Amino acid sequence: MKNLNWCSNCLAMSTRPRISFNEYNLCNACVWTVKKKKHDWNKNLNELKTYLKKNSNKKNKDGYDCLVPVSGGKDGSYVFDKVKNKLKLNPLAITINPHLPQKIGGINLDNFIKSGAPLIEVNPPYEVMRKLNFLGFKHAGFPYYGWLIAIHTAVIRVAKNFGIDLIFYGEDGELEYGGSNETKDNIFYDINYQKKIYLESHQDSILKKSKLSPQDLFFFSYPIKKQKQIKLTHYSYFGDWNPYTNYLLAKKKYGLIENKKTNMGTFSNFAQNDQKLYALHTYLMYLKFGFGRATQDASIEIRRGAMKRSQGVELVKLYDNCYPNEYLKDYLTYFKISKKEFDKIIDSWANKKLFFKKNSKWHPKFEIK
């Protein structure tokens, strides 16, 4: 594939959707990493204070004035803690339970609850979410797409039902890891941005393909009324986002534990431990775009100064092309398909400009530079 490019600082690849590079071949995530060291975070915090002052009378009857989606992992725990103890708000945590959960993910969520955090757990109809996950796998290359929809739509529905008009998500992934700069200077974003960026504009087509009723799809569709009154924000808008310090805080205050071994497809062990489908997602990401979980993790470590680029390159070569054998039986049972059907779907998402298949395995045509 012609015109392939990697960031001169981290390992971000030019195939990443919406990413941009400056005249020094630095990706927009690396440019932002430098800029935010001198950023006036008080200005951003004052924007929030102004909003809260104008809307303080909208606190719901139960006393919760914002919603924080969590999984029991490092980032949600960090956001919940900062919203409660730094912003002095009274947050209600919410989780959308995933399918094929990891045991460690359940332990971490239990530890989060035992810390004293109030939590709403949402379990959409099992077969509905399973079907949407399969349709996402087949038609969008997202094997947990039903869950991905629900962490946006179901969260907004719960906020509406609790009379909460402010939702704190974690980081602006486009800004922090490479992508659009669209929301860099905006305290809030809307559901159109969610649909376009986080749901990759597949929601409507996947729901239509499901042929399920509006009742079945309740947790996977946005409420028509009052959705514009609910404000969505990234907590990373209010401070320097650092996944590693998030992990340290979650470990210290919310009982987060790590895997005893490295996670599938990467060299780290303390992130994305809630569901087995994430390993399949990152393998598909690798086949679609040429970068996987190890590339993402190494780039984060390089940007925070904890790893040399040359070290990251070697780790990517070692870990990125990882067929998820460990969970294969779980996937086949869950999706109710054969291995032949499973591999056929995977093969359909392989970018033939980037990969060739030999001895039943996909190999890159490129070498990371």
Pair (293, 146) in one structural domain: no
- Three-state DSSP class for residue 313: helix
Strands of the sheet with 119-122, listed across from one edge = 119-122, 91-96, 66-69, 166-169, 231-234
Using only C-alpha atoms, the chain has a radius of gyration, in whole angstroms, of 20
Pair (127, 168) in one structural domain: yes
Pair (273, 141) in one structural domain: no
pLDDT tens digit sequence for 51-83: 999 886 555 655 899 999 999 999 999 999 999
Domain tally, the chain: 2
- Which CATH number belongs to the domain containing residue 92 in this structure? 3.40.50.620
**Domain range enclosing 304:** 264-364
Pair (206, 326) in one structural domain: no
Pair (85, 187) in one structural domain: yes
Pair (238, 285) in one structural domain: no
What integer pLDDT is reported at residue 369 of this predicted model?
A: 83
- Evaluate whether residue 19 is within a structural domain: no
Tokens coding 287: 């086949």
Share of the chain above pLDDT 90, in %: 90
Pair (305, 236) in one structural domain: no
- Evaluate whether residue 223 is within a structural domain: yes
- The answer for 360, left when phi > 0, alpha when psi is -120 to 50, beta otherwise, is left
Pair (273, 346) in one structural domain: yes
pLDDT tens digit sequence for 151-197: 999 999 999 999 999 999 999 999 999 999 999 999 999 999 999 99
Nearest to 320 by CA among 345, 297, 350: 297
What integer pLDDT is reported at residue 195 of this predicted model?
A: 96
Tokens coding 23: 């005249």
Pair (114, 82) in one structural domain: yes
Pair (51, 197) in one structural domain: yes
C-alpha angle 171-173-175 in degrees, rounded to nearest 5: 100
What integer pLDDT is reported at residue 125 of this predicted model?
A: 98
- Evaluate whether residue 235 is within a structural domain: yes
Tell me the average pLDDT across 252-270: 91
CB atoms within 10 A of CB 329: 10
- Three-state DSSP class for residue 342: helix
- Evaluate whether residue 304 is within a structural domain: yes
- Evaluate whether residue 342 is within a structural domain: yes
Pair (229, 283) in one structural domain: no
pLDDT tens digit sequence for 197-255: 999 999 999 999 999 999 999 999 999 865 568 999 999 999 999 999 999 999 999 99
- Evaluate whether residue 318 is within a structural domain: yes
pTM (two decimals): 0.95
Nearest to 285 by CA among 141, 91, 188, 94: 141
* Mean of the per-residue pLDDT values of the chain: 94
